[in-house]
Structure 1
Amino acid sequence: MTMRLPARLLYFVLPLGAGPALAHHPLAGLPMETGAQGLLSGLAHPVLGFDHLFFVLAAGVAARLAGRGLTGPLAYVAAMLAGCALALTGVALPLVEGVIAASLVVLGGLILSGRALSARLILPVITGFGLFHGAAFATGIAGAEASVPPAVFTGYLLGLGVVQYALALMAGLLAGWAGGAGALRPRLAGAMVAGVGLFLTLEAMEGPLVAVITGFAG
């Protein structure tokens, strides 16, 4: 029983991100002016954005199933911070929102497959997509707080890295208790993540499809 309870927690943790995103920092719309406020925003941002939260948790699960429970999340965090740095220096990655939706479909699908996951596959997947998640984080704060001082960005990035690494480690630990790659509970978690990604993908496609249909109708 002591082994089953922590494993079940994974399936209560995952839906926590399904609520509304609200804001990208927990300051009720007030501007961030200090490093501490930036840190608070960085800690809350991935928790308030369910698309990022689901990917972080899935990255932790996939890394654990691939035998990289500690280093896999660290590689993701490094790539995510690199994506932040690229965006903050003016390097624009293409189709960021679309790639983020696809990241959930791909990583969730890999977990759902029940196949043994290799580090040679999983590490490039979570780091490659991590760049785009980082770019989205940076774009969000830069758009809302274009003139914040460097201390705010430093605190923000530190908070992002700490909370995402902790979340990924927790998810990986719970997945390890739940069983291996073919176990039912990790696969259900993968199905949930892939389903969210599919929903986001269809939502992103809705506008262009409606424009095409109305264009033909006109």
Structure 2
Amino acid sequence: MNANPLRLAAFFAVVCLAAVSPASAHHMMDVDLPTTFTQGLLSGLGHPVIGLDHLAFLIAVGVAVGVGGLSLALPIVFVAASALGVWLHVLEFNLPGVELIVAASVVLIGVLVALGRELPLAAWAALFGLAGIAHGYAYGESIVGAEPAPLWAYLIGLVIIQSALSVGVALITRRSGKSVSAIAPRLAGAVVVGVGLTALLGQLIPGA
């Protein structure tokens, strides 16, 4: 067997073991609200990376787009929707059960990638858009109440890091020549499912 799929699976497993806390606990500023442009930017750049469920979703987006030969505009749908989600939180729009939605979205995209599902472009766009709003709303918890400068910097950081991760993974996956039925992306999808289930259990059973 080619070692590449095993390396990929091992990489995701290490990442999973490195961070298993739910999205609501992630914060780059040790729970302190960013007060400067630099703090806002660093928080925006770091939030999707230290939040394992968010990171897993972004990687799964890239894998799905890469192996499916889909438009690179699709990850931007998620990124734009997440920015909208942040604003909805800042504007105090009520979105109940957002952490459950985030966890469920990670499980769903992981299952789709693990099973090698090929969906219509509109279906992927809808999934990325709706999930993006939920992930963004969860991101917004760490910036609500901030002044305009750190708030805008936070959004800039989110857009940069999420675009880089999702599009970057899509390009790498596409260049690997793997198809949706190949073992490497399906193993990656399985690991993403595990991340999502861990987050889901953390929400349903606090302390689990």
The TM-score range, normalised by the shorter chain, is 0.7 to 0.9
Contact 2:44 2:153 in 1 (8 A): yes
Per the alignment, residue 138 of structure 1 pairs with 140
Identity level (%): 37
Whole-Å separation in 1 of the counterparts to 2:6 and 2:108: 23
Letter in structure 1 aligned against 2:48: P
CA-to-partner distance for each residue in 1:64-121, whole Å, 9 max, x for gaps? 2333352011111000001111111111212101001101110000001123333222
Look at both structures and tell me which one has the larger radius of gyration over its CA atoms.
1
Q: Which residue, out of 75, 80, 85, partners 1:78?
A: 80
Per-residue deviation, 1:9: 5.6
Letter in structure 1 aligned against 2:153: G
Contact 1:111 1:181 in 2 (8 A): yes
The SS at the match of 1:76 is helix
Per the alignment, residue 182 of structure 2 pairs with 183
Per-residue deviation, 1:141: 2.5
Whole-Å separation in 1 of the counterparts to 2:83 and 2:9: 25
Distance verdict in 2 for CA 1:178–1:17, change over 3 Å: farther
| Structure 1, unpaired ranges of 5+ | 211-218
Whole-Å separation in 2 of the counterparts to 1:66 and 1:119: 10
Per-residue deviation, 1:6: 11
Contact 2:9 2:187 in 1 (8 A): no
Per-residue deviation, 1:163: 0.3
Contact 1:17 1:53 in 2 (8 A): no
Whole-Å separation in 1 of the counterparts to 2:62 and 2:151: 25
Tell me whether 1:90 sits opposite 2:92 in the alignment. Answer: yes
Whole-Å separation in 2 of the counterparts to 1:188 and 1:166: 22
Per-residue deviation, 1:158: 0.3
Whole-Å separation in 1 of the counterparts to 2:142 and 2:164: 22
Contact 1:112 1:189 in 2 (8 A): yes
Contact 2:40 2:150 in 1 (8 A): yes
Distance verdict in 2 for CA 1:29–1:206, change over 3 Å: closer
The SS at the match of 2:56 is helix
Letter in structure 1 aligned against 2:121: A
Per the alignment, residue 163 of structure 1 pairs with 161
Letter in structure 1 aligned against 2:163: Y
Between 1 and 2, higher relative CO (CA 8 Å, sep ≥ 6) is seen in 2
* TM-score normalised by structure 1 residue count: 0.81
Whole-Å separation in 2 of the counterparts to 1:141 and 1:17: 26
Moved more, 85-94 or 156-165: 85-94
Per-residue deviation, 1:139: 1.3
What's the RMSD between the two structures over aligned residues? 2.6
Per the alignment, residue 27 of structure 2 pairs with 24
Letter in structure 2 aligned against 1:106: L
Whole-Å separation in 2 of the counterparts to 1:139 and 1:192: 26
Distance verdict in 2 for CA 1:205–1:151, change over 3 Å: same
Whole-Å separation in 1 of the counterparts to 2:189 and 2:4: 19
The number of aligned residues is 200
Contact 1:17 1:49 in 2 (8 A): no
Per-residue deviation, 1:18: 4.5
Tell me whether 1:110 sits opposite 2:108 in the alignment. Answer: no
The SS at the match of 2:181 is coil
Contact 2:44 2:154 in 1 (8 A): yes
Distance verdict in 2 for CA 1:198–1:23, change over 3 Å: closer
Per the alignment, residue 123 of structure 1 pairs with 125
